């Protein structure tokens, strides 16, 4: 039997910080292209993830978590999330099933979308007993006329395939927007910078990760096939620089080792990664730097 019509479209993944939006996208693509950690506000800008198969193509937009913004950087993040509600075919509004009581937030975001909305209840593997989950679904169903309410676990992969099938069914007939062999339209340098920044988020605490950014200064393939990457971790204060470097450089070395392994898996080749730390005071409030980093 011949393949049915080719479907394609743009799907935004939106929600509060730390509800698992980036984990969901990585799970769908079966590859880590977006930084994830257990700290909120890990994602800072909208990243496109591209899922392709013989039946169509879905361009997912992973967005920063919508939160109360106090710095220019954070305001840019929230603006990026709301901007992703325009020009899309479907919205995945992701909610933490373990703490779902955000009625007005859900209403407001769903109302802003000019397209069908799926309410995606994530982290259902942490909800017991099953009756509690059913009660949560019933309670949230009255907040908006959702096209679907889908319980999933992005962490375990439970029900993610069903969610993907429902997404594909909902999309219109269309064309392929990108080659079918790429997972993101982000340059490799940008994805590598995000994977390095993820390790800073995972391995530091308090305000340190929120005052850091990563810039890949050079990305070169050597004759041996090894990719040589030089990257700078930008911080706002000398104290943050000392924390990231660690005693005798131990923490910086650990950040580099963990990031290198992820980058090698992504690129499929050996990587030589060299990291530096630079102080740039109040960079989170400086328009020129935010634009250079792609946050504005």
| pLDDT tens-place string over residues 66-79 | 988 888 898 998 99
Q: What is the 3-state secondary structure (H, E, C) of 151-199?
A: ECCCCCCCCHHHHHHHHHHHCCECCCCCCCCCCECCCHHHHHHHHHHHH
Rounded to whole angstroms, the Cα distance separating 138 from 65 reads 25
Rounded to whole angstroms, the Cα distance separating 121 from 4 reads 30
Indicate if the pLDDT at residue 292 is higher than 90.
Answer: no
Indicate if the pLDDT at residue 41 is higher than 80.
Answer: no
Q: Is the peptide bond before 265 cis (omega within 30 degrees of 0)?
A: no
Residue 40 DSSP code: T
Yes or no: say if 229 and 218 are a contact pair by the CB < 8 Å rule. Answer: yes
> In this structure, how many other beta carbons lie within 10 angstroms of the beta carbon of residue 155?
17
Yes or no: say if 116 and 132 are a contact pair by the CB < 8 Å rule. Answer: no
For 236-287, the DSSP string reads SSHHHHHHHH-GGGHHHHHHHHHHHHHHHHHHTS-EEEEEEEEE-TTGGG-H
Angle, in degrees to the nearest 10, between helices 250-267 and 238-245: 70
φ, ψ at 215 (rounded to 5°): -125, 125
Rounded to whole angstroms, the Cα distance separating 208 from 16 reads 21
Domains of the chain: 7-170 (3.40.50.300), 188-292 (3.30.300.20)
Residue 109 binned pLDDT confidence (cut-offs 50, 70, 90):
very high
Rounded to whole angstroms, the Cα distance separating 43 from 170 reads 27
Q: 182-231 pLDDT, tens per residue? A: 999 988 999 999 999 999 999 998 889 889 999 999 999 999 999 999 99
β 47-53/56-62 pair status? antiparallel
Q: Which of 255, 249, 248 is nearest to 204 (CA)?
A: 255
Average pLDDT, the chain: 92
- For residue 2, the model assigns a pLDDT of 46
Q: How many residues belong to the chain?
A: 296
Indicate if the pLDDT at residue 111 is higher than 90.
Answer: yes
φ, ψ at 265 (rounded to 5°): -65, -40
- Widest pairwise Cα distance in the chain: 65
- For residue 206, the model assigns a pLDDT of 83
pTM, to two decimals:
0.86
């Amino acid at each position: 039997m011949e393949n049915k019509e080719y479907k394609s479209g743009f799907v935004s993944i939106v929600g509060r910080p730390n509800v698992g939006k980036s984990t969901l996208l990585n799970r769908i693509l079966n590859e880590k292209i977006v930084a994830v950690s257990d700290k909120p506000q890990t994602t800072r800008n909208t990243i496109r993830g591209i899922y392709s198969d013989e039946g169509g193509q879905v361009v997912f937009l992973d967005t920063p978590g919508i939160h109360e913004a106090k710095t220019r950087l954070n305001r840019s993040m929230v603006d990026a999330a709301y901007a992703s509600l325009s020009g899309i075919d479907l919205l995945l509004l992701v909610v933490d099933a373990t703490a779902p009581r955000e009625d007005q937030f859900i209403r407001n975001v769903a109302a802003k979308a000019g397209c069908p909305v799926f309410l995606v209840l994530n982290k259902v593997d942490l909800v017991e007993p099953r009756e509690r989950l059913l009660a949560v679904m019933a309670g949230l169903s009255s907040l908006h006329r959702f096209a679907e309410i889908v319980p999933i676990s992005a962490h375990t992969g439970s029900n993610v395939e069903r969610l993907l099938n429902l997404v594909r069914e909902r999309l219109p007939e269309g064309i392929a927007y990108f080659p079918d062999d790429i997972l993101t339209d982000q340059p490799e340098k940008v994805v590598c910078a995000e994977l390095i920044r993820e390790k800073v988020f995972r391995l530091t605490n308090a305000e340190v990760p929120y005052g850091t950014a990563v810039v890949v200064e050079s990305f070169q393939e050597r004759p041996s096939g090894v990719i040589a990457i030089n990257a700078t971790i930008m911080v706002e204060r000398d104290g943050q620089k000392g924390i990231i470097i660690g005693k005798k450089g131990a923490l910086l070395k650990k950040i580099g080792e963990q990031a290198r392994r992820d980058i090698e898996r992504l690129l499929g080749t050996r990587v030589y990664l060299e990291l530096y730390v630079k102080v740039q005071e109040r960079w989170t409030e400086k328009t020129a730097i935010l634009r250079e980093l792609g946050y504005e």
